[in-house]
């Protein structure tokens, strides 16, 4: 097989992976808290037929011959910039406003109530179950973590819940009616989590990221759970963060990938024709 045929094949394989990533971004343009991915391409190792040498008097003699062996996907990075914030009017819809802060201000931490496994998300769509525990809306599986564990925002036995208030710093107050009087009661503290190396977070679907297996800390979890402090953003109640996918850039990249794929396929067909001509020389 001639080398150019292999180069064309590597281009088709790598660009297919790139189109897969672009397609996933476009498909999740309306997914809550989704973070766009980007494919980074790298050239393969080179075949060094002849390296640069010096002639007899010590001067350079450029007879360098090095041939590339194609392209591969070097890495796939995540864009953690903040997405558009949409006002919903629901009191347990929470968005993180981080702006220019690192990683757009951090993530909500949720736990799988069945296994205890922790996940991190920007999709702050929550409600309370029958026991008053704040859970995600995806089949009530994940519990939102506060500074002291799972958040319990239900009314007590002698109370009637009137309203819930989540401040920018994550403090939660409940307006309840107790014995005929309206009372404001502190109910907990929303916890945020940020990382020193968020690119190492593992995507698990449904807007969730994992920091590795139990006992692992692959992304470097920072010891600061309070909103508005350090690299953590502020909490915005009655709002949700949408996807940060930019359709204009995605469509432009898709056109570029399409043209590149066509060029790579032309390399394959041309190389195949040359190889066929070489075989036919014997006939």
CA distance 201 to 212: 7
Which residues does 174 contact at the CB level (< 8 Å), separation at least 6?
Answer: 153, 155, 161, 163, 164, 165, 184, 185, 186, 187
In tens digits, what is the pLDDT along the chain, a chain of 283 residues? 578 889 999 999 999 999 999 999 999 999 999 999 999 999 999 888 877 676 666 666 677 788 889 999 999 999 999 999 999 999 999 999 998 888 899 999 999 988 999 999 999 999 999 889 999 988 667 999 998 899 999 888 888 999 999 999 999 999 999 888 999 999 999 999 999 999 999 999 999 999 998 889 999 999 999 999 999 999 999 999 999 999 999 999 999 999 999 999 999 999 888 888 887 876 6
Is 80 in contact with 243 (CB distance < 8 Å)? no
User: Which neighbouring-strand residues pair with 43?
Assistant: 71
Count the alpha carbons within 13 Å of 129 in the hemisphere toward its beta carbon. 16
């Amino acid at each position: 097989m001639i080398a150019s045929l292999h180069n064309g094949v590597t281009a088709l394989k790598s660009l297919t992976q790139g189109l897969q990533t672009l397609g996933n971004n476009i498909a999740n343009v309306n997914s809550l808290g989704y973070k766009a991915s980007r494919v980074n391409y790298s050239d393969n190792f080179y075949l060094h037929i002849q390296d640069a040498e010096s002639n007899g008097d010590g001067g350079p003699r450029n007879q360098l011959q090095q041939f590339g062996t194609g392209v591969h996907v070097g890495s796939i990075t995540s864009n953690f910039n903040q997405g558009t914030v949409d006002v919903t009017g629901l009191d347990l819809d929470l968005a993180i406003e981080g702006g220019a802060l690192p990683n757009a201000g951090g993530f909500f931490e949720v736990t799988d109530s069945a296994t205890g496994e922790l996940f991190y998300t920007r999709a702050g769509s929550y409600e309370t179950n029958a026991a008053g525990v704040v859970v995600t809306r995806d089949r009530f599986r994940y519990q939102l973590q506060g500074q002291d564990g799972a958040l319990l925002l239900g009314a007590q036995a002698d109370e009637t819940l009137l309203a819930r208030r989540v401040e920018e710093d994550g403090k939660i107050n409940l307006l309840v009616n107790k014995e005929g009087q309206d009372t404001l009661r502190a109910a907990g503290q929303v916890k945020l989590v940020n990382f020193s190396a968020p690119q190492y977070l593992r995507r698990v679907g449904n807007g969730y990221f994992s920091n590795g297996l139990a006992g692992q800390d692959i992304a470097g979890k920072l010891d600061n759970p309070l909103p508005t402090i350090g690299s953590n953003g502020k909490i915005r109640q009655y709002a949700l963060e949408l996807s940060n996918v930019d359709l204009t850039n995605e469509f432009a990249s898709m056109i570029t990938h399409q043209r590149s794929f066509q060029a790579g396929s032309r390399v394959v067909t041309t190389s195949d024709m040359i190889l066929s001509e070489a075989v036919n020389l014997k006939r």
